[in-house]
Structure 1
Amino acid sequence: MSITPAEIEQATYDGTGLPPGQSALTAKVQILLDRSGISPGVVDGWRGGMSESAIKAFQRRAGLPMTGRMDHAVWELLQGYAGPPLTMEYTIVEKDATGLVDRIPPDYAEKAAMTSQGYTSVLERLAERFHMDEKFLAKLNPGASFQPGETIHVTVPAKPIRATVTRIIVDKETRRVAAYDARGNMVADYPATVGSSDTPSPHGNHVVDAVALNPTYTYNPHRNFKQGQNDRVLIIPPGPNGPVGNVWIDLSEPTYGIHGTATPSQLFLSQSHGCVRLTNWDAWELAHMVKAKVTTVEFLPPGVRISDVTGVSPVAAATQTAATTAIASTRPPARGNRLPPAAFAGEAAPAAVAAATSAATALGAPTAAATAAGSEPLVVTPATPATSEPLVPEVPPAAPATEEPEYPSDVTLPSSLPGEAPGSVTLYPQAGQP
C-alpha cells in the first residue's frame, strides 16, 4: 500500500484507534509526537511498540491514563503542534553523496582499516537527517534514485530542543528515557535499548561525567571482550555507523553510558551490553542539554515506572489547568518557530488549543476553572471504547544480543561538548570490573 505526503497532511482520527499495520495517520501522529518532545524513534508509519511507548509517554506528561492507544484526548492535544506542514520537498545536493562508504563490515579489523564509519548511501543519510526509516523514505518516493539534483518528499523533523537537563530517568521495562530540567518539567522523552537479561544496565543514581561527539573507538581484547578472531588493539574511526553511533554520554558508573546507534529502527528489537542506546539524533539532542558533573541519571528498579517517581509536573500543579494546557506548559518553546499552546490561566490560547479544549469539554472533561479546586490531574476518556486488539504481539520476536562495545569512564574524555570535532575514548575497564 502506498502512502503519499498529501495523505499524511490530510490524515484524520476517527475515534477507533490507529489502523493496524502501516498508515498515513500513524506517520502523522509520529511527526506530531516528535514535535511535542516525545520521540517516536523513527517515523515509519507503523503502529507498533515504539509508537505505543511514545503515546504512553505523551499521556504520562498530560496526566492521562497511560494506555498507549490513540484516543480523542491525545489527538486533540497533538493538534497544538499541527500548525506547520508535516512534509516538504527536498532537493538532494552533491554534499549528500560525499563521504559515503561501500559497506560497514561486522569484523573490527575491517572496521579499523576504514577511514570512516560513514553512511552507506544517500538514502541512509537523508533518512537519519529527517528522522525517518529508510524503507519509509523510499516508500514516500516511489521510483526515486536518491541522486544529487533529484527532488524528493520528506517528513519535517522537529528542531532540536535547547534546554538544560539536570535529571535523566531510565525506565528499563518500558524502554523510555525521560529528561527533566531543574524545575522538574519534562523536556524530552526518548525510546531506548536498555541492557539485556545477560548484561543488564546498572542500578541506582549516577552522574554524567562527560560527552564525546563523533567518538573514535578503541578496541582492546586484552582488557575487555574479544570480538571474532581479533586479538590486538584496534582504533575504529568515527561515524554514524560506528559501534556507538555518533554520540557517547559518559556516566560515572564505569563502562556505562548513553549513546547513539547505527540501526535506529531496531531499538526495541536489539539488546545492549548494559548501556542506553538512542537514535543518533535523539542522543545528539540530549548530549547538547546535559551538563557534566551536574546531570544525574537514575536507573529505575524493576516494577517502578517514571510516573511513580515524578508525579505531576510543578507547572501543572501550580496552575491546575486542563490537560490541554498542562501538557503544553511542560514543553520548552525552543523546538521549532511556533510557540506551544498557552500554559497559564489568563493567556490567550491559540486556536488549535481552544478547539482542543472545546473537544475535551464535549467529551465530558471539566474546564480549567472546574479543576482549580482539585489536585488530581484531569482524566479525559475517549467517547468510543478502545479496541481490545493488542498493539504489539504479546511475545516480541527473539532478537540475538549483538556485540555492542561500551566505553568506560575515562579521564581523557572531554569535559565539555567539543562541537563538531571528533572525540576519542579508549575502551579500558575500571579496576574491579570483569
Structure 2
Amino acid sequence: MLNTGELKMSWARQYMPVLGAIRKRFEAQKPLSGTRIGMALHVEAKTAVLVETLAAGGAEVYITGCNPLSTQDDVAEALNSVKNVHCYAKRACSVDEYYDAIDRVLDSNPTVTIDDGMDLIHRIHTKRRELLDNIVGGCEETTTGIHRLRSMAAEGKLEFPVIAVNDTPMKRHFDNVHGTGESALSAVMITTNTLIGGKWFVVAGYGFCGHGLAKMAHGLGAKVIVTEVDPRRALEAHMDGYYVMTMEEAAKIGDIFVTTTGNTSIITGDHFPLMKDGVILSNAGHFNVEIDIPWLEEHKEGMEKRDGIDTYIIKGKKISVLAEGRLVNLSVPKGMGHPVEVMDLSFALQALCSEYIKNEGPKLSGGVYEVPNDIDVSVAKLKLSSLGVEIDKLSEYQEKYMTSWDIGT
C-alpha cells in the first residue's frame, strides 16, 4: 500500500506528461550516468517527479529544501525509498538545520547543482570552495536566484556556468504568470477563508509573477492596486486597467497585500501604522524579507497565532501575516505550490538543462547562460503533443522571407 507521500507523487505523475516523455528517454539512454546532482528545491510532489526522472536518467541525486517551511515530510520520506535518491529535507527546520542539510547535500561532492534561490551555489562559493573543481555547472529555478547569480557574475565571482531556467519563455510565461498567480491566490483563500471579490487587493511588483497575480485577483472581482518602482511596468499596469500608486497610499486602503518583487523591505514600519484593522499580508517572493516581520515583532502590543496566520496587534489594529512572511503558496499549512501542469513544464526544462550542462558545462566559463532555444521549443512541442494540439509550419518561402533583407515593397 502506498504511503501518503507516494500517493501525492502518483497523483502528480499523471498530470506531468512532458516530464513523463523525458523520463522514458532517460530510462532508455541514461544520459546522466556518472552525474551527482545536488539540489535545493521545494520538496513536494512535483519536485519528487523531477527527482525520479533525473535518477531514471542515471544520476545519483542528493536533495534538500530551499525554504524552511515548504517541505512536505511525507514526500521527503517517499523520496528516500527511490533508488539513487538521498533526501535531507524536513519541514519547519531551524536556520541551523536548514544549512546543515545543505551541507549534507554538498558532502556528496556534486558535479551538477540545481537551485531555487541560489543557496547551494552561495554556500559552495563561500563555505565549500573545495567542491568547485568537480562542478561542471548548475541550473537556477527562480527570479531571486537569478538576480543573485547575475550580481555574482558581474563581479567576476561566479566560478562555474549556470543556466537561467527562470528566464526562458517556457518558464516565465507559464510558471511565473499562471503558477504564481493561481497558487499564491489559492493559498491566501484557503488559509484565510476570506472573499476576494470586492476587496482592495494590492500586488507589490508587476513583473511576470505580479502580472499573473493581478490578473487572477481581478478575475475574482478584486479591485487591484499595483505598486512599482519601474516606470515602464507601472505604466503597463495602468494600461492593463489596474490602480497604480505608491505603497504609502496603498497601505491606507488595501485589504489584502501580496509582495512579488524579490527585493527587501517592501512593506515596512512606515506602512503598518497606516493600515486598516484586519488587513492581510502575504509574500510570493522567494525570501522572507519583503515584509518587515522584525518591526512587527518589536512593536506588537499583542499577538494571536493560528495555522499559517500570525496576527499582530499594532496600535489596537490587527495586522495578519501569512506563513511568517515566507513563500505563501508553499509555506501555509495547506499550501500545494504551483499547479501540477505548470511545474511539468518548468521541471521538464530542469531535466533537459541538467543533461545539457552535464555535456556542455566543461566547455563553458563561469557565468549565467540562457536556456538553449531548442530546449525551450522542445518542451513547448512536447506539451502541445500531449494536448493533441497541432500548429502551422512555415513554408520554405516564408522562412526565406523572414531571413532575407532584400525583400521589400
Write 1 or 2 for the structure with the bigger share of helix.
2
TM-score category (smaller protein): under 0.3
Question: Which structure ranks higher in relative contact order (CA pairs < 8 Å, sequence separation ≥ 6)?
Answer: 1
| TM-score, structure 2 normalization | 0.26
Q: TM-score, length-normalised on structure 1?
A: 0.25
